[in-house]
């Protein structure tokens, strides 16, 4: 009984301190998610807190649940305009881009860490995908106003590329532990079937789950506070069901969020506000937990090669993969470089690093500890490429995806209709020039934003 109370006290205390640490870090310009990770390390085995946490099974379960909630929140904030602008470039980045990044980084890891080819590809696969929590957070940092197609591509890619990274990671682990099968059409067909099931199955389950949730929310008469609970439990049900069926639960829960977020329903504001808080809590919990898993004293020997891998990923691997994937879509080179550097690695690579640990042999723990340093390039996130940012003297209502908290600070003249849905900014902008001309003819001053 006393141990349970102590766990509650310590867990709540870490989250509480993290919130205030976030306030301080935002004023000094420190990466917020890295602050959460640092607090977890301070509370861990080598820090003043002295907490010894090495339960990788629990870490995997908490990490998967938190990531599913974050992806669902990201899907809710993905608009139809975002999908129209970025579906194809984001889809290429989420598949071909992840594979190219994994191959290049894996080859470099083989040279630096003296791993076998499969172990090198495993290392590359773990750090190949961008992190939804880090990307969603950065895109909404301090009202940053990016070129629309750039922010849309980053947002959609971060929601779609996890299935590819998970598939590559699990495949490499199976080949390492079970041996490489003989090359035959049967093995190739099995590989292609598993890959198709991951993507196609996740997409179908996500669409079905999203539309079922939409129908339930619009048809059931519930207390206002129960609609967000219904949406979240339905999202996790979609995630868990897809995983059990062998499909990608991460893709399914993101698509379910997109379906619910782009359709009219009676609980838009309630669900978005609840999900905003839930996503923040999941980000804090994930990075605190992953910080607790780190033992800094055991990372000293592998720090230099792991940092070299992180720099290669940041400066060569990811930029080259982005350049190859976005060449047909005519992105400017500054935009490609921005997408390459803001495609952050955060909790997802560390979460995927638990997979080889749970797969069996104890020596696979060394792979996790080495890959943990791959999240070091998270610190490069706030360094935005100013050539890809358009200064905005005045924020426009719903001009780009924003969290529910940001939406509540929109000017009174825009933002949401009386039904709680986002107004289309295009109509508002088309009306403004005509309003100015009318005001000029009447001979009195017109202020933009007045009703």
Domain CATH code at residue 82: 1.20.1530.20
Residue 416 has a pLDDT of 41
Stretch 348-369: mean pLDDT: 66
Token pair listed for 159: 């929601």
Give the separation between CA 292 and CA 294, rounded to whole angstroms: 5
Token pair listed for 432: 């403004």
Give the separation between CA 31 and CA 209, rounded to whole angstroms: 35
- Do 365 and 357 meet the contact criterion of CB atoms below 8 Å apart? yes
Number of domains in the chain: 1
Say if 16 falls within a structural domain: no
Is the pTM here over 0.85, yes or no? no
- Do 272 and 78 meet the contact criterion of CB atoms below 8 Å apart? no
Residue 401 has pLDDT above 60, yes or no: no
> Which is more confidently placed, 445 or 334?
334
DSSP string covering 245-278, please? TTS-HHHHHHHHHHHHHTS--TTHHHHHHHHHHH
Band the pLDDT of 116: cuts 50, 70, 90. confident
pLDDT digits (tens, 9 = 90+) for 97-115: 999 999 999 999 999 888 8
Q: How distant is the alpha carbon of residue 386 from its chain centre?
A: 23
Mean pLDDT of the chain: 77
Instruction: Say what the alpha-carbon torsion angle 166, 169, 172, 176 is, to the nearest 10 degrees.
Output: -120
Integer CA distances (angstroms), 395 to 22, 141, 185, 207, in order = 24, 13, 56, 33
Residue 183 has a pLDDT of 61
Taking phi over 0 as left and psi of -120 to 50 as alpha, with beta for the rest, 417 belongs to beta
Which helix (H) or strand (E) segment holds residue 68: the answer is: helix 56-76
Say if 285 falls within a structural domain: yes
Residue 379 has pLDDT above 80, yes or no: no
Say if 323 falls within a structural domain: yes
Residue 256 has a pLDDT of 96
Stretch 156-185: mean pLDDT: 81
Say if 141 falls within a structural domain: yes
Say if 135 falls within a structural domain: yes
Residue 234 has pLDDT above 60, yes or no: yes
Residue 27 has a pLDDT of 72
Say if 442 falls within a structural domain: no
- Do 384 and 144 meet the contact criterion of CB atoms below 8 Å apart? yes
- Neighbour count for residue 255 (Cβ, 10 Å): 28
Say if 108 falls within a structural domain: yes
Say if 257 falls within a structural domain: yes
The CA angle 324-162-79, to the nearest 5 degrees, is 85
What range does the domain containing 95 cover? Answer: 54-384
- Do 324 and 73 meet the contact criterion of CB atoms below 8 Å apart? no
CA-based nearest residue to 71, from 293, 236, 237: 236
Contact partners, residue 115, CB within 8 Å, separation at least 6: 109, 123
Q: Three-state SS across the chain?
A: CHHHHHHHHHHHHHHHHHHHHHHHHHHHCCCHHHHHHHHHHHHCCCCCCCCCCCCHHHHHHHHHHHHHHHHHHHHHCCCHHHHHHHHHHHHHHHHHHHHHHHHHHHHHHHHHHCCCHHHHHHHHHHCCCCCHHHHHHHHCHHHCCECHHHHHHHHHHHHHCHHHHHHHHHHHHHHHHHCCCCCCHHHHHHHHHHHHHHHHHHHHHHHHHHHHHHHHHHHCCCCCCHHHHHHHHHHHHHHHHHHHCCCCHHHHHHHHHHHHHCCCCCCHHHHHHHHHHHHHHHHHHHHHHHHHHCCHHHHCCCHHHHHHHHHHHHHHHHHHHHHHHHHHHCCCHHHHHHHHHHCCCCHHHHHHCHHHHHHCCCCHHHHHHHHHHHHHHHHHCCCCCHHHECCCCCCCCCCCCCCHHHHCCCCCCCCECCCCCECCHHHHHHHHHHHHHHHHHHCCCCCCCCC
Residue 405 has a pLDDT of 41
Band the pLDDT of 345: cuts 50, 70, 90. low
């Amino acid at each position: 009984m006393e141990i349970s109370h102590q766990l509650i006290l310590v867990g709540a205390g870490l989250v509480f301190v993290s919130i205030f640490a976030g306030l301080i870090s935002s004023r000094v310009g420190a990466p917020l998610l890295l602050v959460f990770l640092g607090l977890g390390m301070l509370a861990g085995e080598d820090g003043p807190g002295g907490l010894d946490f090495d339960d990788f099974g629990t870490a995997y379960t908490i990490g998967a649940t938190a990531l599913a909630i974050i992806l669902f929140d990201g899907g809710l904030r993905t608009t139809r305009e975002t999908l129209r602008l970025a579906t194809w470039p984001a889809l290429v980045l989420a598949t071909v881009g992840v594979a190219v990044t994994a191959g290049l980084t894996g080859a470099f890891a083989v040279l630096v860490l003296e791993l076998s080819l499969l172990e090198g590809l495993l290392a590359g696969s773990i750090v190949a995908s961008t992190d939804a929590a880090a990307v969603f957070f950065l895109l909404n940092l301090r009202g940053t106003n990016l070129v629309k197609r750039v922010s849309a591509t980053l947002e959609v890619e971060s929601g779609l590329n996890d299935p590819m990274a998970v598939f590559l990671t699990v495949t490499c682990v199976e080949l390492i532990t079970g041996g490489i099968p003989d090359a035959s059409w049967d093995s190739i067909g099995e590989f292609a079937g598993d890959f198709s099931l991951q993507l196609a199955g996740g997409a179908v389950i996500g669409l079905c789950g999203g539309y079922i949730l939409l129908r339930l929310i619009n048809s059931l008469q519930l207390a206002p506070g129960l609609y967000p609970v219904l949406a979240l439990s339905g999202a996790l049900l979609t995630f868990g069901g897809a995983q059990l069926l062998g499909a990608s639960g991460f893709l399914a829960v993101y698509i379910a969020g997109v379906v619910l977020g782009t359709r009219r329903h009676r609980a838009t504001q309630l669900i978005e506000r609840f999900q905003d808080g839930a996503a923040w809590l999941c980000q804090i919990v994930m990075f605190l937990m992953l910080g607790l898993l780190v033992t800094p004293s055991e990372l000293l020997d592998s720090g230099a090669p792991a940092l070299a891998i992180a720099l290669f990923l940041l400066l060569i691997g990811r930029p080259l993969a982005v350049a190859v994937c976005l060449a047909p879509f005519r992105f400017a080179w500054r935009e490609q470089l921005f997408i390459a550097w803001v495609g952050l690695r955060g909790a997802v690579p560390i979460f995927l690093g638990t997979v080889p640990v749970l797969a069996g042999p104890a020596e696979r723990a060394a792979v996790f500890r080495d890959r943990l340093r791959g999240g070091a390039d998270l610190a490069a996130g706030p360094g935005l490429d100013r050539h890809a940012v358009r200064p905005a003297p005045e924020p426009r209502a719903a001009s780009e995806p924003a969290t529910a908290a940001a939406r509540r600070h929109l000017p009174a003249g825009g933002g949401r209709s009386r039904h709680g849905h986002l107004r289309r900014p295009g109509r508002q902008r088309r009306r403004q020039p005509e309003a100015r001309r009318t005001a000029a003819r009447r001979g009195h001053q017109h202020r933009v934003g007045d009703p």
